[in-house]
Amino acid sequence: MVRTLLTNLGVRPQKRFGQNFLVDRHVVDHIRARVSEKSPETILEIGPGLGALTQAVVDIPRRMVAVDVDETLAASLKERARANANLEVRLGDILEFDISKEIPERPVLILGSLPYRITTPILRYVIEHRAALSRACLITQWEVAEKIVNSPGKHGSALGVFVHAFADVSPLRKIRKGSFFPKPEVDSAYWEMDFLPCPRFSADETAFFLVVRTLYRNRRKMIRRALQDLLPAATAAACIADAGLDETARGETLAFDELDRLATICHPHVSIDSASVDP
């Protein structure tokens, strides 16, 4: 059916848009059940594509907005979903979509199968708009999701710390690559984010993520060596001592409270004027 629909539309899946369409009915049904449990009033879907998830959950919320960057697919979904009065299909880049302006209803549930190459920017976008959101139900590359779930920790990542800083993360459900057309090279995962009322850290946000990114970028180094990317050696050693940490530890072994304490102490000594909080 997917092949036929694509042929009729004259569409070939575009790598630049990360177009691998979900075709596994069992996965779709699982996600519908998860979304239905939350009884969301409003859903914002990222990259609906051919509409497998859209059509599975459209009867659940009072309002659903689906944003796709592909003009042909957006037009096709809009035509095929004309009977769903609560569904709005928008053409555009999700990273330029202003949730606060376009969707005043609160809270919003985010749903989407994220293109692999722009997973990090989209997760950053989702977190930046967390005040308007209750939950995010996402499909991402398995390896990325696994590292997020295991953060902070030696099997985690700076991106994972960034996500966990603002949300609880659900366990993963693996989605085999054969569940998509065309079949990607790697497996995917379905997982969820439940946003916290306040972050897990109290340090200056830019300083916190600057320290986290530095430690994870130098994850094989002891923290006294890793922090020398930010601070003079003597200052790094003093900050670590003031934080009550072992300077021979690896940054990936630090828990949130330890990272928070270290970032708070480092903050006055690091230049954050032009620093980015990107994970």
Domain C-terminal end among 162, 177, 195? 195
Residue 117 and residue 241 share a domain: no
pTM for the model stands at 0.91
Residue 252 and residue 164 share a domain: no
Number of structural domains (the chain) is 2
| Tokens encoding 150 | 């295991």
Average pLDDT over residues 143-161: 96
* 220-261 tens-digit pLDDT: 999 999 999 999 999 999 999 999 999 999 999 999 999 999
Neighbours of 83 (CB within 10 A): 7
Q: What is the pLDDT of residue 274?
A: 46
Cα(37)–Cα(22) distance, integer angstroms:
21
Residue 244 and residue 155 share a domain: no
**Percent of the chain with pLDDT strictly greater than 70:** 91
- Cis ω on the peptide bond leading into residue 232 (within 30° of 0)? no
CATH number of domain containing 166: 3.40.50.150
Q: Write out the residue range of the structural domain in which residue 77 sits.
A: 2-195
Strands 188-195 and 167-169 come out as: antiparallel
Residue 156 and residue 257 share a domain: no
Question: Per-residue DSSP letters for the chain?
Answer: -HHHHHHHHT----GGGT--EE--HHHHHHHHHHHHHH--SEEEEE--TT-HHHHHHTTSSSEEEEEES-HHHHHHHHHHTTT-TTEEEEES-GGG--HHHH--SSSEEEEEE--GGGHHHHHHHHHHTGGGEEEEEEEEEHHHHHHHHT-SSTT--HHHHHHHTTEEEPPPEEE-GGGEES--SS-EEEEEEEE-SS-S--S-HHHHHHHHHHHHHTTTSBHHHHGGGTS-HHHHHHHHHHTT--TTSBGGG--HHHHHHHHHHHGGGS--SS-----
Residue 223 and residue 88 share a domain: no
Q: Are 222 and 131 in contact (CB under 8 A)?
A: no
Domain C-terminal end among 165, 195, 225? 195
Q: Residue 10 pLDDT more than 80?
A: no
Place of tokens 């990607």: 184
* 176-217 tens-digit pLDDT: 999 998 889 999 999 999 999 999 999 999 999 999 999 999
Q: Are 105 and 130 in contact (CB under 8 A)?
A: no
